[in-house]
Structure formats: structure tokens, C-alpha cells
Amino acid sequence: MTDAAVRVRLAVVTVVRDDRSGLLATRASLRAQTMPAYDWFVADGGSSDGTARWLARHGKEAAWWRSSPDRGLYDAMNVALDAIAASSRSHSHVLFLNAGDRLADERVLERLLPILSDHPDTGLFYGDALEEQPGGRLMVKRARSHRRALLGMFTHHQAMVYRLAGLSDVRFDLRHGLAADYAFTLMVLGRGVPARRLPLSVCIFAPGGRSQQDPARGRREQAVIRRELLGLGWTANATLWALQWLALTLRQTIPWLYAKYRFSPNERSFLS
């Protein structure tokens, strides 16, 4: 472990509800890291599938955990952010890695932490994500530039690392059930903090999430967020909505063409 890497401490937030197997997959990914310079914060929404019992037995593995009903995914993330702020241990950055999501490989933190330390004024770091394709093959979904945030999330939320010093009064807006992470990220960028693209794949994204199940709602929420945070008018919002719909239709109807445009082979991900 280098001296540079010691100066940062990562808080990893995992939100779970009735997904014990997903929680265990996330835990295994964290425990496999070659540089375990992180603390785990687990917010369980009052699971009834054995998740809460597992946490009660293994709670010492987490810096903080709780199991109680909440108002959903983003409410649980807010509760975890409050817990990080109140923690006796100082944390420099936060990564949201929900139950079922995993780090891209066992060396992610080994690569990531020195970069965080070398750029202490950067408020947001973001990298590529791996997505599992039919048949189990992992493909790299390249991050777009944060300068194109107008188009939507430029990478998966699980591939973003935020500097905690800039989040003291930033929380997820619970009006948005699917796109609050987009609003959260725009608020961070709107403060003018530097953002930096990471030269690595950060996470393996667990497919089948709520945003993929109800993409129309996600587009509507993004339109509201663009209007409120970016001042975008109706015409520009409608144009972006149509482009998002077209991309989704392409992915659903001609998946090979979408994959050719949007994905890269996994073997290239760690050479970027």
C-alpha cells in the first residue's frame, strides 16, 4: 500500500431490500479487494427474506448498518450519507454499490485510491462499467464525458465516486423515484467542482433494476430535473426525450447494433 493511498478512506454504501443473495455478492466483491481501504455502510429497508438476520449475525463486517423500513432506495442512501457524516472515522469519498452490484475486479481499489489521493480537489470521479450480456459475457459500457450530462447519466451511478467534502448539504431528491441519482450528480457538477474520468472499469452493473423496468418514467423524471436544474425548455427536453427513446428502441429491437455502438470487449477495459 502506497503512502498516497493511505491518505484517503472510501465509504462504500450498499442499499438492499429482500435481496440477501445480492448483498452477499456485493460483500464478496469487496472482501476480494487487494487494498481493503474502505468502510462498508449497509442500509436495509426492513427485509423479510433473511437479509436482516444475516446483518444481525455479521454486522461487525460493516462500519455501520441498520435494518428498518424506509421510503425507498434514495431515502436509504440519504440515511447512509448521514451515517457517514456522523461516523467516528473520517472518510474522504463515497461509492454507492447496491446489493447485487460488484466491483469490476479485485484490483479496483488498488488502482482507484491512489488516483483519489493524487487529485484531492476533484469532486467527482467516474469510470466505465461492465454489463452482463445474455450468456454471461461481460462487456464494457464506456463512460461518456461529464460535459455531456445534459443527455443523462454519463455512466452508471455505481461507477461514480464523490468527494464527501462537497456533499454536506447535497442529498437525493425523493420526488424522483428513478432519476434522483441524476439530479444528485447534476447538483454536484453545478457547484463547479472538477470532475475526472477514471482510466478503469469500476463496477459490474447488476441488470434488471427499476430504471430498466420503467424507462418511460425515468425519462419523464429526467425532463423535470433538466428543467429545474439546467433551465431547459420544453422543445429541448422533448428532443432529448426522443433521442433517449430511440436509443432504448434500438437496444430492444436491434441489440447487436446497439452493442456494437455502445459496448467494447471486456478484455480492453483495463487497458484504457
Domain range for residue 87? 3-266
Measuring CA to CA, which residue among 158, 259, 260, 272 is closest to residue 205? 158
| One-letter identity of residue 107 | R
- Structural domain contains residue 117: yes
- Structural domain contains residue 271: no
- Structural domain contains residue 111: yes
Each residue's pLDDT tens digit, 81-108: 999 999 988 999 999 999 999 999 999 9
- Structural domain contains residue 255: yes
- Structural domain contains residue 26: yes
Global model pTM greater than 0.85:
yes
Number of domains in the chain: 1
Cα–Cα distance measured from residue 137 to residue 84, given in angstroms and rounded to the nearest whole number: 35
Q: Is the pLDDT of residue 268 over 80?
A: no
- Structural domain contains residue 206: yes
* CB burial string 212-245: b at 16+ within 10 A, e below: eeebeebbbbbbebbeebeebeeeebeebbeebe
Cα–Cα distance measured from residue 208 to residue 64, given in angstroms and rounded to the nearest whole number: 27
CATH number at residue 77: 3.90.550.10
Q: Is the pLDDT of residue 122 over 60?
A: yes
- Structural domain contains residue 272: no
Each residue's pLDDT tens digit, 174-225: 999 999 999 999 999 999 999 999 999 999 987 666 666 677 898 889 999 9
Q: Is the pLDDT of residue 270 over 80?
A: no
Cα–Cα distance measured from residue 76 to residue 103, given in angstroms and rounded to the nearest whole number: 21
Number of residues assigned to the chain = 272
The pLDDT value given to residue 6: 42
Phi and psi at residue 153, in whole multiples of 5°?
A: -60, 130
The pLDDT value given to residue 211: 60
